[in-house]
Amino acid sequence: MARKDSDRRKKILEAAVITFAEHGLDGTTIRTVGKAAHVNSALIYYYFEDKRTLFSECIILTIHGLLMHLQKRLPSFSGPRDRIAFLVESLGSYFGAHPERIRLILLAISKHPDLFGEALVSFIRNNEQLTPLMVLKEGIEKGELKPMPLVNMWWMIIGSAIFTFHVSGIIKNIDIGRVPKPVTDTAQMIKLMTETLSDGLVDKTTATQESK
């Protein structure tokens, strides 16, 4: 019974992510989520207190999914650029597989920062394995990355990646004219982001020693 409940709850959340991403929090109702998930409203209220709670749980689902994706792909690193490339590439593959989740995160950050903050704090309090922070912390301790607050460093990386991946679908359809054509290939964008972020985050002393 517990497994069945878990499957039903996940089915509702996945449908809600798509619905919220398309219509926003204000434009979504429990009924529309139920229709998308092929369940009645009563079942949604059985699992979630109200629409705001459902929205928060969708944020947590997205964050949890990203961290699990990172954990499964976690390699050994030969240097600081490997660390940054791993994080950027993982963000690209995760949101590439779940574009609705990147739209949900952007919506939450821009229009509902209070709910996003609450969901993020709730998730951190209930999860000890925060893979991206672990990867960055190890890099700082080894002298590969500049010493700075881990959360700030992670948000620089994820903020750059989320925005870049989100707008890639826009810029590929724009005729720039006299301006050089922008890069729209995902692999090339990941490479550019890795190089740009590395310039700001990598400890230059370590990088110089590695190149010798």
Stretch 155-162: mean pLDDT, rounded? 92
Residue 113 φ then ψ, to 5°: -60, -30
Q: What is the pLDDT of residue 164?
A: 86
Q: How confident is the model at residue 204 (pLDDT cuts 50, 70, 90)?
A: confident
Q: How far, in Å, CA of 129 to CA of 69, rounded?
A: 12
Q: Tell me if residue 15 falls in helix, strand or coil.
A: helix
What whole-number distance in Å separates Cα of residue 24 and Cα of residue 41?
A: 18
- What pLDDT shows up at residue 174? 67
Q: pLDDT, tens digit, for every residue of 42-95?
A: 999 999 999 999 999 999 999 999 999 999 999 999 999 999 999 999 999 999
Q: What pLDDT score does 2 carry?
A: 47
Whole-number pLDDT of residue 5: 66
pLDDT digits (tens, 9 = 90+) for 12-40: 999 999 999 999 999 999 999 999 999 99
Nearest to 165 by CA among 103, 80, 212, 118: 103
Average pLDDT (167-193) is 76
**Cα 72 to the center of its chain, rounded Å:** 15
Q: What pLDDT score does 208 carry?
A: 52
Give per-residue pLDDT as tens, 90-147: 999 999 999 999 999 999 999 999 999 999 999 999 988 899 999 999 999 999 999 9
Mean pLDDT for the chain overall: 90
pLDDT digits (tens, 9 = 90+) for 189-198: 889 899 999 9
For residue 181, the model assigns a pLDDT of 73
Q: Residue 189's pLDDT is what?
A: 86
